[in-house]
Amino acid sequence: MRRRSLAAVLAAATLTLGLAACGSSSDDAAESASTDTLKVGVSPVPHGEILKYVSDNLAAAEGLKIEIVEFNDYIQPNVALSEKQLDANYFQHIPYLEEEVDAKGYKFTALKPVHIEPLGVYSKTVKAIADVPNGGVVAIPNDPSNSGRSLNLLAKNGLITLKEGVGVKATEKDITVNPKNLQFKALEAAQLPRSLEDTAISVINGNYAIETGLKPSTDALALETGDDNPYANLVVVRTGDETDARIVKLEKLLHSAEVKKFIEDKYQGSVLAAF
C-alpha cells in the first residue's frame, strides 16, 4: 500500500474530542487560548479507545482538552512528535522507544507504564501449539524489539530454544534448537493479522489482534503474561515537556482508578493495566 505523506496522515486521521469550536475566526482564537488542549498521537486500539474514555469522562474536570491523532503504523507517531506536530504520543513500549532513539537520535522521555498488550500466537489452521507442523511458516514482527519478544514467546512455549541470556534482543541467529524446522517470515507488525491466511502460526501484537477482531484472552494459542513484562505501553514526550501542566494532568488521569476499571471491563484480559 502506498504510504501517504505525514501531512496527509495527520489531516485525515485527526479526531478532535470535546467541545467543537464555533463562531468567527477571532472567536476561534479566543477559544483556543482559553482551553488547555493537548494533541496526542495514538494507535487506534486500545490506546485511542483508552484516551477517548479519558477525554469523554475525566478530562473536563481537570480543565484539559485532548485532541487525538490516530496512526496505523509504528513509525510516524515518533516522527510527528519530533517535528512538534504532536505534544505527546501513546503507542509504544520502552524497548521499541530505545531502538528508535538509538537509530534516529530522538530526544524523548518515557513516562509511567499504562497498559500491557500481551503478544499472542494465532492460527487459522492449528488448534494447539503442539500441533504446529514440521516446516511450518511462522510470521513475526520485523522491528527488533518485537521480533525478539516474539521469539522469546515461542521459546517459552517449547517451539524453539534460544541462546542463554539473549533476552529481548534475541534474533533468528540466536535460535539454537528448531526441532520442527520452522520457517520464519518477518513482516511489518500491522500486516501480521493478514498473514494468517498464509502461515501455520503468526505472532501478533495485541493492538493489531484486537483491531482485526481477534480476542487475545481466548483466541491466542499462547499469550504473554503481565508478570515482569517489560513491554508496557506508555506516554512519550519530548524531553523537557514532562513537567508541562497538560502532560501532568494527562498522566494523573491515565493512572486513575477509573481508567484501570475501564481497561479491565472493556478488554477482559486482552489488555492489562500496568499500574
- The per-residue pLDDT for range 172-197, each reduced to its tens digit, is 999 999 999 999 999 999 999 999 99
Mapped onto helix, strand or coil, the DSSP state of residue 137 is strand
List the domain boundaries for the chain.
Answer: 38-118+229-273, 120-223
**Res 7 pLDDT > 90:** no
In the predicted structure, residue 214 carries a pLDDT above the cut 80:
yes
Q: Is the pLDDT of residue 1 over 60?
A: no
**227 band by pLDDT with thresholds 50, 70 and 90:** confident
Q: What is the pTM of this model?
A: 0.77
* CATH architecture of the domain covering 120-223: 3-Layer(aba) Sandwich (3.40)
pLDDT at 24 over 90: no
Give the tens place of pLDDT for each residue, 102-127. 999 999 999 999 999 999 999 999 99
120-223 matches 38-118+229-273 in CATH topology: yes
Mean pLDDT, the chain, rounded, equals 89
Q: What is the pLDDT of residue 225?
A: 87
Residue found by looking up cell 533476552 in the block? 167
CATH 3.40.190.10 fits 38-118+229-273, yes or no: yes
Q: Is 42 exposed, middle or buried (0-12, 13-18, 19+ CB in 10 A)?
A: buried
pLDDT, greater one: 14 or 255:
255
Residue 76's contacts (CB-CB under 8 Å, 6 or more residues apart) are 6, 9, 41
Q: Which amino acid is at 15?
A: L
